[in-house]
Amino acid sequence: NTIMAFELPKLKYAFNALEPHIDAKTMEIHHGKHHQAYVTNLNNAIAGSETEKLSIEEICKNISKYPMVVRNNGGGHYNHSLFWEIMAPNAGGKPTNEIGKAIDAELGGFDKFKTDFSQAGATRFGSGWAWLCVKSDGKLCICSTPNQDNPLMDIADCKGTPVLGMDVWEHAYYLNYQNRRPDYMNAFFNVINWDKVNELYLNARK
Ligand code: MN
Protein backbone atom coordinates (compact mmCIF):
# COMPACT_ATOMS: atom_id res chain seq x y z
CA ASN A 1 0.00 0.00 0.00
CA THR A 2 1.75 3.14 -1.24
CA ILE A 3 -1.05 5.56 -0.32
CA MET A 4 -0.25 7.88 2.56
CA ALA A 5 -2.67 7.49 5.42
CA PHE A 6 -3.77 10.60 7.26
CA GLU A 7 -1.28 11.64 9.93
CA LEU A 8 -1.42 13.57 13.17
CA PRO A 9 0.09 17.00 12.39
CA LYS A 10 2.95 18.11 14.62
CA LEU A 11 2.20 20.95 17.01
CA LYS A 12 4.24 24.05 16.13
CA TYR A 13 4.62 24.99 19.82
CA ALA A 14 5.21 23.18 23.10
CA PHE A 15 2.34 21.67 25.07
CA ASN A 16 2.84 24.33 27.76
CA ALA A 17 3.22 27.25 25.33
CA LEU A 18 -0.41 28.36 25.67
CA GLU A 19 -0.35 28.50 29.48
CA PRO A 20 -1.93 29.91 31.56
CA HIS A 21 -4.85 30.02 29.11
CA ILE A 22 -4.73 26.38 28.04
CA ASP A 23 -2.76 24.03 30.28
CA ALA A 24 -0.05 21.64 29.11
CA LYS A 25 -1.79 18.44 30.22
CA THR A 26 -4.95 19.35 28.30
CA MET A 27 -2.89 20.10 25.18
CA GLU A 28 -0.93 16.84 25.50
CA ILE A 29 -4.05 14.67 25.86
CA HIS A 30 -6.09 16.65 23.34
CA HIS A 31 -3.44 16.43 20.63
CA GLY A 32 -1.80 13.11 21.41
CA LYS A 33 -4.85 11.09 22.44
CA HIS A 34 -8.05 12.68 21.12
CA HIS A 35 -6.78 13.93 17.76
CA GLN A 36 -4.65 10.80 17.29
CA ALA A 37 -7.74 8.66 17.86
CA TYR A 38 -9.66 10.57 15.15
CA VAL A 39 -6.77 10.01 12.72
CA THR A 40 -6.45 6.30 13.56
CA ASN A 41 -10.18 5.67 13.36
CA LEU A 42 -10.47 7.60 10.07
CA ASN A 43 -7.60 5.62 8.54
CA ASN A 44 -9.13 2.33 9.69
CA ALA A 45 -12.54 3.30 8.30
CA ILE A 46 -11.25 4.12 4.79
CA ALA A 47 -8.42 1.59 4.52
CA GLY A 48 -8.30 -0.01 1.07
CA SER A 49 -10.97 2.27 -0.42
CA GLU A 50 -10.80 5.05 -3.01
CA THR A 51 -11.41 7.52 -0.19
CA GLU A 52 -7.77 7.14 0.79
CA LYS A 53 -6.81 9.17 -2.29
CA LEU A 54 -8.89 12.19 -1.24
CA SER A 55 -7.98 15.21 0.87
CA ILE A 56 -9.73 15.69 4.18
CA GLU A 57 -11.43 18.78 2.71
CA GLU A 58 -12.82 16.73 -0.21
CA ILE A 59 -14.12 14.10 2.19
CA CYS A 60 -15.83 16.76 4.35
CA LYS A 61 -17.47 18.44 1.35
CA ASN A 62 -19.17 15.16 0.36
CA ILE A 63 -19.65 13.78 3.86
CA SER A 64 -23.29 12.73 3.23
CA LYS A 65 -21.91 9.91 1.04
CA TYR A 66 -19.98 8.38 3.92
CA PRO A 67 -20.87 6.36 7.03
CA MET A 68 -21.04 8.09 10.42
CA VAL A 69 -17.60 6.79 11.43
CA VAL A 70 -16.04 8.85 8.61
CA ARG A 71 -18.14 11.91 9.47
CA ASN A 72 -17.14 11.81 13.13
CA ASN A 73 -13.47 10.98 12.70
CA GLY A 74 -12.87 12.83 9.43
CA GLY A 75 -14.51 15.89 10.95
CA GLY A 76 -12.43 15.40 14.07
CA HIS A 77 -9.24 15.31 12.01
CA TYR A 78 -10.08 18.40 9.94
CA ASN A 79 -11.34 20.42 12.91
CA HIS A 80 -8.38 19.73 15.18
CA SER A 81 -5.81 20.26 12.41
CA LEU A 82 -7.29 23.77 12.02
CA PHE A 83 -7.56 24.30 15.78
CA TRP A 84 -3.81 23.81 16.47
CA GLU A 85 -2.97 26.27 13.68
CA ILE A 86 -5.24 29.09 14.76
CA MET A 87 -3.75 29.16 18.27
CA ALA A 88 -0.28 30.39 19.20
CA PRO A 89 1.69 31.66 22.18
CA ASN A 90 1.97 35.45 22.53
CA ALA A 91 -1.16 35.87 20.44
CA GLY A 92 -4.71 37.08 20.98
CA GLY A 93 -5.68 40.73 21.14
CA LYS A 94 -7.64 42.65 18.57
CA PRO A 95 -6.70 42.04 14.92
CA THR A 96 -5.83 45.08 12.81
CA ASN A 97 -5.17 43.20 9.55
CA GLU A 98 -7.71 42.39 6.79
CA ILE A 99 -9.70 39.97 8.96
CA GLY A 100 -9.92 42.65 11.64
CA LYS A 101 -11.24 45.15 9.13
CA ALA A 102 -13.77 42.62 7.82
CA ILE A 103 -14.96 41.91 11.39
CA ASP A 104 -15.45 45.65 11.89
CA ALA A 105 -17.29 46.08 8.59
CA GLU A 106 -19.42 42.93 8.55
CA LEU A 107 -19.86 41.73 12.12
CA GLY A 108 -20.37 44.98 14.02
CA GLY A 109 -16.85 45.36 15.41
CA PHE A 110 -14.51 43.21 17.48
CA ASP A 111 -16.42 43.44 20.78
CA LYS A 112 -19.66 42.34 19.14
CA PHE A 113 -17.79 39.58 17.32
CA LYS A 114 -16.35 38.31 20.61
CA THR A 115 -19.81 38.34 22.20
CA ASP A 116 -21.49 36.61 19.28
CA PHE A 117 -18.74 34.03 18.75
CA SER A 118 -18.76 33.19 22.47
CA GLN A 119 -22.53 32.98 22.36
CA ALA A 120 -22.26 30.46 19.51
CA GLY A 121 -20.00 28.33 21.72
CA ALA A 122 -22.06 28.81 24.87
CA THR A 123 -25.34 27.83 23.25
CA ARG A 124 -23.95 24.71 21.57
CA PHE A 125 -25.52 22.09 23.85
CA GLY A 126 -23.21 19.18 24.56
CA SER A 127 -20.19 18.84 22.27
CA GLY A 128 -19.34 20.84 19.20
CA TRP A 129 -17.57 23.81 17.71
CA ALA A 130 -18.04 27.55 17.20
CA TRP A 131 -16.89 28.88 13.82
CA LEU A 132 -15.96 32.03 11.99
CA CYS A 133 -16.45 31.25 8.30
CA VAL A 134 -16.22 32.82 4.89
CA LYS A 135 -19.45 32.16 2.98
CA SER A 136 -19.59 31.57 -0.77
CA ASP A 137 -20.32 35.30 -1.28
CA GLY A 138 -17.05 36.17 0.49
CA LYS A 139 -18.73 37.54 3.62
CA LEU A 140 -17.99 36.45 7.18
CA CYS A 141 -20.45 34.54 9.33
CA ILE A 142 -20.50 33.06 12.83
CA CYS A 143 -22.11 29.70 13.52
CA SER A 144 -21.75 26.47 15.44
CA THR A 145 -21.96 22.77 14.62
CA PRO A 146 -22.58 19.68 16.79
CA ASN A 147 -20.10 16.88 17.51
CA GLN A 148 -17.25 16.91 14.92
CA ASP A 149 -19.30 18.40 12.09
CA ASN A 150 -17.99 21.54 10.39
CA PRO A 151 -19.22 24.13 7.86
CA LEU A 152 -17.37 22.44 4.97
CA MET A 153 -19.74 19.50 5.28
CA ASP A 154 -22.63 19.22 2.83
CA ILE A 155 -24.92 18.30 5.74
CA ALA A 156 -24.09 21.43 7.79
CA ASP A 157 -26.81 23.98 8.59
CA CYS A 158 -24.23 26.75 8.06
CA LYS A 159 -21.88 26.36 5.12
CA GLY A 160 -18.61 28.13 4.47
CA THR A 161 -14.85 27.92 4.71
CA PRO A 162 -13.76 27.92 8.37
CA VAL A 163 -11.06 30.46 9.26
CA LEU A 164 -11.41 30.16 13.06
CA GLY A 165 -12.77 27.26 15.08
CA MET A 166 -13.22 26.95 18.84
CA ASP A 167 -13.53 23.45 20.27
CA VAL A 168 -16.20 23.44 23.00
CA TRP A 169 -16.03 19.72 23.77
CA GLU A 170 -15.40 19.21 27.49
CA HIS A 171 -12.10 17.46 26.61
CA ALA A 172 -10.84 20.87 25.42
CA TYR A 173 -11.13 22.49 28.84
CA TYR A 174 -12.34 20.19 31.62
CA LEU A 175 -8.97 19.54 33.38
CA ASN A 176 -8.37 23.24 33.98
CA TYR A 177 -11.83 24.80 33.83
CA GLN A 178 -14.11 21.89 34.83
CA ASN A 179 -17.65 22.93 33.86
CA ARG A 180 -16.75 26.61 33.31
CA ARG A 181 -17.01 26.76 29.51
CA PRO A 182 -17.36 30.58 29.53
CA ASP A 183 -14.00 30.95 31.35
CA TYR A 184 -12.33 28.68 28.79
CA MET A 185 -13.85 30.61 25.89
CA ASN A 186 -12.67 33.89 27.38
CA ALA A 187 -9.16 32.44 27.74
CA PHE A 188 -9.25 31.13 24.17
CA PHE A 189 -9.35 34.72 22.92
CA ASN A 190 -5.87 35.20 24.42
CA VAL A 191 -4.36 32.52 22.18
CA ILE A 192 -6.03 33.22 18.82
CA ASN A 193 -3.36 33.43 16.11
CA TRP A 194 -4.86 36.26 14.07
CA ASP A 195 -2.00 36.15 11.55
CA LYS A 196 -3.03 32.59 10.67
CA VAL A 197 -6.74 33.44 10.71
CA ASN A 198 -6.00 36.30 8.33
CA GLU A 199 -4.05 33.99 6.01
CA LEU A 200 -6.99 31.57 5.94
CA TYR A 201 -9.38 34.46 5.35
CA LEU A 202 -7.39 35.74 2.37
CA ASN A 203 -7.10 32.22 0.91
CA ALA A 204 -10.83 31.59 1.33
CA ARG A 205 -11.63 34.75 -0.65
CA LYS A 206 -9.32 33.96 -3.61
MN1 MN B 1 -11.24 18.39 20.67
**Per-residue pLDDT in tens (0 to 9) along the chain, 206 residues:** 456 799 999 999 999 999 999 999 999 999 999 999 999 999 999 999 999 999 999 999 999 999 999 999 999 999 999 999 999 999 999 999 999 999 999 999 999 999 999 999 999 999 999 999 999 999 999 999 999 999 999 999 999 999 999 999 999 999 999 999 999 999 999 999 999 999 999 999 99
Q: Please state the length of the chain.
A: 206
**Residue 63 Cα, ligand 1 centroid: separation in angstroms?**
19
**Residue 3 Cα, ligand 1 centroid: separation in angstroms?**
27
Q: Is the full-model pTM beyond 0.85?
A: yes
Distance between CA atoms of 140 and 44, rounded to whole angstroms? 35
**Residue 34 Cα, ligand 1 centroid: separation in angstroms?**
7
**Residue 90 Cα, ligand 1 centroid: separation in angstroms?**
22
**Residue 30 Cα, ligand 1 centroid: separation in angstroms?**
6
